[in-house]
Structure 1
Amino acid sequence: MALRYIGQKAAQQIDEELMSAAGAFSIDQLMELAGLSCAQALAKSFPVKTHARVLVCCGPGNQGGDGLVAARHLHHFSYNPTIYYPKPGGKDLYQRLLKQARNLGIPVVDTEGFPASLEGADVVMDAIFGFSFHPPVRAPFDKVLTALAESSKPILSVDIPSGWGVEEGRQRLTNTQGEEVATIDPEVLISLTAPKEGSRNYTGKHWLGGRFVPDDLAKRYELNLPEYPGVDQVVELPPSGKL
């Protein structure tokens, strides 16, 4: 059976179930597993010999937390990550993830340092917006998305390309002043838990990560998840998720 693409409501319900008393996962666990999957997807797509310098662009929410975790794992995979994190989340979890990255000597830059970091990168990990994003795009991310879209650097997006609708896919974007914001087209996408409706027509290299979904939950939501090979945390999906 074909892999199921889920909408925003189902994605939120699955997350809530995983972190419920019955699911028993903590957000720390899920973020760690998701970030590890993202790092492995990047490593499988962009070899360290040619793409060692990774700019990890993190938003202030859970998507950014996945990016912080991924940056740490990429460091241990012998990559040289730099974190762009202009609006750090205020929760203790995000502060600890950022501290863990700094303890490894991973550089963290703000919006002023973003252009030079983008110029010096071999590949970009887009962990800015997740499936809860709704336009318009607020500063400073309006300029960041345009810069990424206009750059020649390859991009790996986490879960859904930043700025895309979780159900609509690629969409026209504006900032809070009504000015147009460019839309990114990543070379690689890693969906987490299950692919989202907005990525149904995505044509680049597509990975699925999230080797933690309980069998009964996957069955109830009819996710029809593929088997992960060996001990990998990611599995590559064929076009349109046809298995």
Structure 2
Amino acid sequence: MSLKAISATDAASLDKDLMEIGGWSLDQLMELAGLSVSQAVWKIHPPNAGKNILVVCGPGNNGGDGLVAARHLAHYGYTPSVYYPKQGKNELYQRLRIQLETLSVPFIDDFQSALKTTDFLVDAIFGFSFGGALRDPFGEIVRQIESANVQVLSVDAPSSWDIQGGPPKEGPGAKFMPHALISLSAPKPCVAFYRGRHFIGGRFLTKDITDKYGLDLPKYQGIDQVLEIGVDAEGRL
């Protein structure tokens, strides 16, 4: 199964429509995104494969998705920890942090040591709005993730990748190919460069929204919020 990709501009417009027309709040969209990420982790790396999950969060909405995912993972019985080097200033992110602190989920400072001991990593640094070169400290963070011997799930796009053009030609991220990728709402064009396990998450879109943006409604199974789909660089994408 392959799905139509959506550009970064249309992805931003879709989110705006959901909030201004569809009645959704940013909190709700982030909660659903983080829930989808957590379910993808469960399918890829169940707790019996190792409970230590390192969630690396950026300063924007992608990082917020990671914070929500960490909370759900704690409830599932994992032992998540969060690396959040540049925290979002929005009050929403502060509340998400408090929710994790009340669950005793640690926010770590020594990323290098945590990377050596984790069983699995969630890359929630940058999403569809990323563009340009990586700024400190994220270049070094991506470089370390890229060379680590740990499976990675990237949220919406592998961090450092151009949303349209894929991985950078050189520097941090040039050889970054995470084990798994979860596309939220719809795949982004960079998925055409991706080789690995690919999931879709976004079981809340309505037919009018998908029709407006020419998207497909995947056939999610049971109560799952995610669905594993193929990557077809020659097809619909």
Range of TM-score over shorter length: over 0.9
Q: For 2:190, which of 178, 188, 198 is the aligned residue? A: 198
Alignment of 1:137-148 (within 5 A): 137-148=134-145
- Deviation of 1:47 (Å): 1.3
What residue identity is the alignment partner of 1:231?
I
**Aligned pair in 2 of structure 1 residues 182, 202: CA closer, same or farther (>3 Å)?**
closer
Distance 1:19 1:51 in 2: 37
> In 2, are the aligned partners of 1:201 and 1:240 still within 8 Å (CA)?
no
Q: Which runs of 5+ in 2 are unaligned?
A: none
TM-score by length of 2: 0.95
> Partner of 2:96 in structure 1?
97
Count how many residue pairs are aligned between Structure 1 and Structure 2: 234
Distance 2:49 2:95 in 1: 31
> Partner of 1:234 in structure 2?
226
Q: Which runs of 5+ in 1 are unaligned?
A: 174-179
> Partner of 1:78 in structure 2?
77
Q: Residue by residue, what CA displacement relative to the aligned partner does 1:18-74 show, whole Å, maximum 9, x if unpaired?
A: 111x11100000000000000000110011111311000000000000000000000
What residue identity is the alignment partner of 1:240?
D
What residue identity is the alignment partner of 2:166?
G
> Partner of 2:14 in structure 1?
14
- Deviation of 1:217 (Å): 0.5
> Partner of 2:5 in structure 1?
5
Question: Does the residue aligned with 1:169 lie in a helix, a strand or coil?
Answer: coil
> In 2, are the aligned partners of 1:2 and 1:224 still within 8 Å (CA)?
no
- Deviation of 1:240 (Å): 1.7
- Deviation of 1:238 (Å): 1.8
Distance 2:50 2:157 in 1: 22
Percentage identity across aligned positions?
45
Corresponding position: 1:27 with 2:18? no
Q: For 2:128, which of 126, 131, 136 is the aligned residue? A: 131
Q: Residue by residue, what CA displacement relative to the aligned partner does 1:96-128 show, whole Å, maximum 9, x if unpaired?
A: 000000110001013xx1111111100100000
Segments of 4+ in structure 1 off by > 4 A?
none
Corresponding position: 1:117 with 2:114? yes
> In 1, are the aligned partners of 2:2 and 2:230 still within 8 Å (CA)?
no
